[in-house]
Amino acid sequence: MATLTKANRKEIKRQDRKLLKKSFKRNWDCYVYMAPYGIIFFAFTVLPVLASIVLSFTYYNILEAPTFIGLDNYRSLLATDDVFITALKNTLMIAVITGPVGYLMSIMFAWFINELSPKVRAVMVTIMYAPSISGGAYAIWKLMFSNDSYGWANSLLLSVGIISEPIQFLTDVNWMIWIAIIITIWMSLGTGFLSNVAGFRTIDRSQYEAGYVEGIRNRWQELWFITLPSMRPQLMFSAVMSITQAFTVGDVTTQLFGIPSTDYAAHTILNHITDYGTTRFEMGYACAIATVLFAMMVACNQIIQRMLRKVGQ
C-alpha cells in the first residue's frame, strides 16, 4: 500500500467516484422508496437533535429570530443555574440506579422465564411487560403513596404500628427520589426485555449439547459461556433501551410531584427542559440542556457497547 504513487492514488479516487456515480444511477429508485419515510424521519428525529445543538448557542424565544450568544447558555448552566446542577444530580442518581438494575432485571428475568414451559412463560411475560405498556398507569402510585392516611402505604404502616403519623411521601425530600426510582424500575421491563426473552428462545440448542460434552456443569456456566455470548446483539439492543429509559425520567416525576417538585428534590433534566421550553419559552437555553442530555446518553451508550463486547471472554 505504501508504495502507491500520488498519481496512482488519484487514479483510484477517480475510479471510485466513477463507481459511486454509476451506483447512484443504477439505484436511483432506492432513494425514491426511501424518501417519504426519510424526509419525515429527518424532519422530526434527526433535525431536532441538530437544531438543538445549533440553537443551544443562541438566545431564542420563538417570537424573535435567534441571536447568537456563543457559549453563554452553557456557562450559565454550569455556573449560575443551581437548579440545573440539582437536576443533573437527580438524573444521574436515577440513571445510575435504574439503568443497571433495570438492565440486569431484563436479562435475568428473561433468563428465568426461559426455564419455564411455553404456556407458563407466556403468562409470565405478559405480567412482567404489563407495567411498561400501561402508559399512564403510574398515576396509581400517587394513590398508593399519597400523603394522607388514605394512601395505601401510609395506611398499612399506620395500622401495623410502624409509624404514628403519615409519611409525606410526595413532598418529603428524603422520599421523593426513591419513589421515582421504584416506579422507574417497575416500568423498566419494556421492549429490551422482550428482545431478551426472544433472544433466549432462539439460541441453538445443539450448542448446549456440545457444551455439556465439553464439561459445562450448571446453569450459571451455561449462561456465561454459551447463552450470553450468543445473544450479544439482543443485549446491545436492550442496553440502548435501558439507557434511554434511565436518562429520560420526567413524566413520572411530573405526575407525582409536579413541576417544580418540593425543593426540586425530584427535578430531572427532562423536567428542566420542559420548564424552560414550555413555560419560560427560553428555547435556546432549553436546547442547551437538551444537548447536554443527548451528549450524556450517546457517551453512556458508547461505553456500555464497548463493555458488552467483553461478555463471555
Site string for another protein, 99-128 (x = CB under 8 A): ----------x--xxxxxx--x-x-xxxxx
**Of the residues 77, 151, 253, 257, which one makes contact with another protein according to CB under 8 A:** 151
Residue 199: burial class (beta carbons within 10 Å; 0-12, 13-18, 19+): buried
Q: How far apart are CA 164 and CA 150, in angstroms?
A: 14
Element (H, E) at 67: strand 67-68
Single residue of 93, 97, 144, 259 touching another protein by CB under 8 A = 144
Measured in whole angstroms, the distance separating CA 48 from the mean position of its chain's CA atoms is 18
CA-nearest of 140, 135, 112 to 124 is: 112
Work out whether 133 is an interface residue with another protein (CB under 8 A).
yes
Q: Near another protein by CB under 8 A, which window of 3-11, 26-34, 84-92, 93-101?
A: 26-34
Specify the residue, 199 or 265, whose C-beta has the smaller distance to another protein. 199
Q: Does 61 bind another protein (CB under 8 A)?
A: no
CB closer to another protein, 37 vs 70: 37
Query: Closest Cα to residue 94, out of 256, 237, 283, 308?
Result: 256
88 touches 269 (CB < 8 A): yes
Note whether 93 binds another protein by CB under 8 A: no
Q: Which is nearer to another protein, 4 or 198 (CB)?
A: 198
DSSP state, residue 58: E
Cα(106)–Cα(189) distance, integer angstroms: 6
The answer to whether residue 46 forms part of the interface with another protein (CB under 8 A) is: yes
Residues 231-290 touching another protein, rule: CB under 8 A, are 231-237, 240-241, 243-244, 247-248, 250-251, 270, 273-274, 277-278, 283, 286-287, 290
**Which span sits near another protein by CB under 8 A: 4-12, 75-83, 84-92, 200-208?**
200-208
Residue 312 has φ and ψ, to the nearest 5°, of: 80, 15
Could you tell me if 239 and 103 are in contact, meaning their C-beta atoms sit under 8 angstroms apart?
A: yes
Cβ 192 vs Cβ 242: under 8 Å? yes
Distance in angstroms (rounded) separating the CA atoms of residues 84 and 75: 12
289, 77 Cβ separation under 8 angstroms: yes
* 293: contact with another protein by CB under 8 A: yes
Stretch that binds another protein, among 7-15, 85-93, 94-102, 146-154 (CB under 8 A): 146-154
Q: Report the residue from 4, 12, 49, 307 that binds another protein according to the rule CB under 8 A.
A: 49
Binding flag, residue 295, another protein (CB under 8 A): no
Comparison of 27 and 67: residue with beta carbon closer to another protein: 27
The stretch near another protein (CB under 8 A) out of 7-15, 16-24, 67-75, 82-90 is: 16-24
Identify the CA nearest to 150 among candidates 132, 170, 125, 180: 170
Supply the minimum distance, in Å, between the C-beta of residue 250 and another protein.
Answer: 6
Of 7-15, 40-48, 71-79, 81-89, the window that binds another protein (rule: CB under 8 A) is: 40-48
Burial class (CB in 10 A: 0-12, 13-18, 19+), 97: middle
CB of 210 to another protein, least distance (A): 12
**Residue nearer to another protein on the CB measure, 4 or 280:** 280
